[in-house]
Amino acid sequence: MALDGIVLQAITKQLQELLPAKINKIQQLSDTELLFQLRTKEGNKKLLLSLHSVYNRINITNQSYTTLDAPQGFVMLLRKQLDGGMIRSLRQVGLDRILHMEIEARNELGDIHQKHLYIELMGKYANLVFVDENGIILDALKRIPPFENNKRTIHPGAKYQLPAPHLNKQDPYQNPAVDFNASLVKQLHGFSPLLASEVEYRMQKGAAFSMIMDELQHSDSVYISEQDGNTQFHILPLTHLAQPIRSYPLMKGLDILYHEKEEKVRIKQQTGDIYKTVKQELHRNSGKLPKLKESLQEALDCEKYREYGDLLFAYQGSLKRQPKVTLPSFENGTELTIPLDMRYDIKQNANRYYHKYHKGKRAQDFLQEQIALCEKEVRYFEAMKLQLEQANAQDAKEIREELIRLHYMKDTKRAMRKKKKNQLPHYECFHFDDYKIYVGKNNLQNDFVTWKLAKKQDTWFHAKDYHGAHVIVTSAQPNETMIRNAAMLAAWYSEGRYSSSVPVNYCLVKQLKKVPGTQGSFVSLSSYKTIYIDPEAAQIQALIDAHMQMNAT
């Protein structure tokens, strides 16, 4: 799922329509992402630059992001030299995945200088290089010193050089002489294997190459298909995949394609300690549980030790010190073989068995209690693991606060102390004409939407037998559309996201009761109904597209 030169050309055209644009602010989202706040003739815009090895791209975004508190030195340099600067031009280098951005900016003395940003979107080699007006590299997001690559050095003070061009490739828009029996990727600039497959398929169906290229040149949309669990996209419909196709305006489609996947990478970078804590606690308790159950089974079998002691005391006068003895059981007369410790006499061995018996009796209640606690911990951290997998940056922040409050993590950043006293969890809210749907995606949000926000006559939804979100519909008698929308959200934000026919229970809020003595947001239901639903990404995206998604403040 990567950009090719043809897609980048379409993106560049739309970005060029916004120029000139003033750089108001430069922010860092993660180790490989920058956000430029721009003032354009169409108003304020957010330009996202991602130099991730998999998700590298450039696009205008409407998403909200959490920025790093301490940006890298490279970003600080960009701020110093480019804040307040004017982007005068943006052009693609041929049909390669390289953009050249020219920026006018003032130095400390107020003199205007030309600066250049080279945005290289080449997979694992993706990079952002800052160059002065003389072509000298001032710095780069990813430095490449001479000892790593003596042909192309990316390092402060070096002369910037573009990657070596593909000399044998032709421009597909300039009536190329193409051998359609050979690989189009090797013959044409900007072509990826995916695009080549689509062009070949269409030509086999009778389409002319020039007509296909004309469609590509004038496309302003992105078309998305799913195949074998993989997302494929381009700026023309991928008919050769024979899969359902979703279309979006180009910039919005790129946000839909990448935002959720890259958000997970970003969250892991910003909150890796949360993942580590949850993983460690889940591993510890999952390993502890079978050991506790084994100890309980042994403790429940302690009656035999009492009988061993009784038999040894009864027959001690006739027994000699030996490794083991065989005596008839008092209960059923069967022969019992009793191991003896040769270091002790018969009476001492009997007392040792009585001691094991009493220890086992005392341990039974304790072990049952510990097993119950351990099972609760496992359920809690399994739910927490799911919440992290589906969390955005704000959700992850609230999960951190919960773990700090429960003393699983230390408050090294004073996050809890800085939190405003009346700040509410950031649950999601879907607005419809005559009702709303609230979705809680972590324990804090679940508790808030269920016990604080919802009224007793509202309807509550949750995926049955799965860890997942609490979903509230602000209606006591929801119609079929309300029920299906809420059930779809409950199934999507649960462990059953990728299952089919997910059972979703629903009932009035007044029929819920919080399970006492549990961590997390576990509830019991006095009565409920169940609907079975197939979670589908397209329908969830349709809900998000059709209705404003708001965060509670």
The answer to whether residue 239 is domain-embedded is yes
Q: Are residues 484 and 466 located together in one domain of the fold?
A: yes
**Tokens representing residue 57 in the block:** 């791209």
Range of the domain at 248: 184-265
The answer to whether residue 107 is domain-embedded is yes
The answer to whether residue 382 is domain-embedded is yes
Residue 130: strand pairing partners: 117, 139
Quote the pLDDT of residue 547: 60
3-state secondary structure of 148: coil
The answer to whether residue 484 is domain-embedded is yes
Q: Using CA atoms, how far apart are residues 274 and 330, in angstroms rounded to an integer?
A: 58
Q: Are residues 16 and 136 located together in one domain of the fold?
A: yes
Quote the pLDDT of residue 421: 52
Q: Are residues 291 and 384 located together in one domain of the fold?
A: yes
Q: Are residues 80 and 135 located together in one domain of the fold?
A: yes
Q: Using CA atoms, how far apart are residues 73 and 15, in angstroms rounded to an integer?
A: 27
CATH assignment at residue 368: 1.10.287
Q: Are residues 220 and 319 located together in one domain of the fold?
A: no
Quote the pLDDT of residue 215: 95
pLDDT along the chain (553 residues), means of 10: 88 96 93 94 94 92 83 94 95 94 89 94 93 95 85 92 84 89 91 94 93 94 87 93 92 86 71 84 92 89 89 89 90 89 92 92 90 89 85 81 86 54 78 88 92 93 92 92 92 90 94 84 90 87 63 37
pTM higher than 0.85: no
Q: Are residues 279 and 260 located together in one domain of the fold?
A: no
Q: Nearest 5 degrees, angle CA 376-CA 379-CA 385?
A: 140
Q: Are residues 437 and 459 located together in one domain of the fold?
A: yes
Of 368, 388, 408, which residue is a domain's last? Answer: 388
Q: Are residues 360 and 455 located together in one domain of the fold?
A: no
Q: Of 276, 478, 137, 63, whose CA–CA distance to 146 is shortest? A: 137
The answer to whether residue 279 is domain-embedded is yes
Q: Are residues 191 and 128 located together in one domain of the fold?
A: no
Q: Are residues 27 and 132 located together in one domain of the fold?
A: yes
The string of DSSP letters for 282-341 reads HHHHHHHHHHHHHHHHHHHTTHHHHHHHHHHHHTGGG--S-SEEEEE-TTT--EEEEE--
Structurally, the chain folds into a number of domains equal to: 4
Of 214, 234, 265, which residue is a domain's last? Answer: 265
Mutual angle of helices 250-270 and 393-405, in 10-degree steps: 20
The string of DSSP letters for 90-124 reads EEESTTSSEEEEEEEEE-TTS-EEEEEEEEE--GG
